[in-house]
């Protein structure tokens, strides 16, 4: 990098597992910028800039790290359109009840912590003819989620795990759901974009950290700020209102 006289070096990993911070720390390029991989300050004096947007790193948090901020005006997540399969499985083929209201979330289970899962259970209890459709990521997570739901007084049959499918098929089958309910402390990224490409609405609650505001940047960029709320109580109420009002949904 140094010998090739690279002017601007862009890091895309931050503190994630396969990172290159040991390279960036040597300052081999004139300017070092972090973009996308971590969505917040790295706390690294050797990084000059972080590319973000005002929903992820808000004005009151802009001085939290040593880097300078570059705000993109719409969203920091560009996305290319992906084609869904022409064949759309029926609800029966997907193991979903025909007449139920289907809430869904296909994030990996490490994003599903007790607070948001308890909120989902409250929503299901308030909408008796509803089910929750989750990704079948691993048996241990499934068992723990069902155990938690049962302790909270919810019939485990109302949680349905869908196998992890090829992307084109997944985009097609999302049209069989009614509403995506976002995770909280770490919102959905690609999973949220998948839903929007499929025409499936999402609701998202804004938290105090950049990761918890991930869902809001997609909804704002799509011109749907009415689906963004500021706490889990409002999130619960919005999900219930939309489930009970199909015209508004």
- Strand boundaries in the chain, DSSP class E: 8-11, 31-35, 49-52, 68-71, 101-105, 130-135, 159-162, 179-181, 202-205, 228-229
Q: What is the pLDDT of residues 171-206, one digit of tens each?
A: 999 999 999 999 999 999 889 999 999 999 999 999
Integer CA distances (angstroms), 213 to 47, 51, 113, 162, in order: 23, 16, 16, 26
Q: What is the pLDDT averaged over residues 101-114?
A: 97
Better-predicted residue by pLDDT, 78 or 43: 43
Task: Say how far apart CA 225 and CA 218 lie, in whole Å.
Answer: 9
Q: What is the pLDDT of residues 30-77, one digit of tens each?
A: 999 999 877 788 999 999 999 988 888 888 888 889 999 998 877 787
Task: Say how far apart CA 209 and CA 197 lie, in whole Å.
Answer: 26
Strand arrangement of the beta sheet that strand 159-162 belongs to: 159-162, 130-135, 101-105, 179-181, 202-205, 228-229
Confidence band of 162 (pLDDT split at 50, 70, 90)? very high
- The yes-or-no verdict on residue 218 having pLDDT over 80 is yes
Confidence band of 221 (pLDDT split at 50, 70, 90)? confident
Q: What is the pLDDT averaged over residues 215-235?
A: 93
Q: What is the pLDDT averaged over residues 123-141?
A: 97
Q: What is the pLDDT averaged over residues 19-27?
A: 94
pLDDT at 79: 76
What is the per-residue burial (b if ≥16 Cβ within 10 Å, else e) of 155-183? eeebbbbbeebeeeebbbbbebbbbbbbb
Confidence band of 81 (pLDDT split at 50, 70, 90)? confident
pLDDT at 17: 87
Q: What is the pLDDT of residues 109-131, one digit of tens each?
A: 999 999 999 999 999 999 999 99
Q: What angle do CA 228, 230, 232 make, to 5 degrees?
A: 100
Task: Say how far apart CA 188 and CA 170 lie, in whole Å.
Answer: 15
């Amino acid at each position: 990098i140094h010998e090739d006289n690279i002017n601007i070096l862009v890091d895309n990993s931050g503190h994630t597992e396969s990172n290159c911070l040991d390279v960036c720390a040597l300052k081999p390029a004139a300017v070092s910028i972090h973009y996308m991989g971590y969505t917040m300050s790295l706390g690294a004096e050797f990084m000059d800039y972080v590319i973000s947007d005002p929903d992820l790193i808000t004005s009151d948090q802009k001085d939290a790290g040593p880097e300078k901020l570059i705000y993109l005006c719409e969203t920091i997540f560009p996305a290319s359109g992906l084609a869904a399969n022409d064949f759309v499985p029926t609800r029966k083929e997907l193991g979903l009840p025909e007449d139920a209201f289907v809430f869904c979330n296909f994030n990996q289970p490490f994003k599903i912590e007790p607070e948001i899962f308890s909120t989902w259970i409250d929503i299901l209890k308030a909408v008796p003819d509803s089910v929750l459709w989750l990704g079948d990521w691993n048996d241990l997570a499934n068992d723990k989620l069902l155990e938690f739901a049962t302790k909270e007084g919810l019939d485990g049959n109302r949680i349905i795990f869908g196998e992890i499918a090829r992307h084109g098929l997944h985009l097609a089958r999302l049209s069989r759901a009614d509403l995506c309910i976002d995770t909280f402390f770490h919102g959905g990224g690609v999973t949220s974009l998948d839903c929007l490409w499929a025409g499936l609405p999402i609701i998202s609650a804004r938290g105090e950290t950049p990761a918890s505001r991930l869902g809001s940047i997609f909804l704002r960029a799509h011109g749907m700020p009415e689906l963004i709320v500021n706490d889990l109580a409002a999130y619960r109420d919005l999900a219930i209102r939309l489930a009970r009002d199909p015209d508004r949904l």
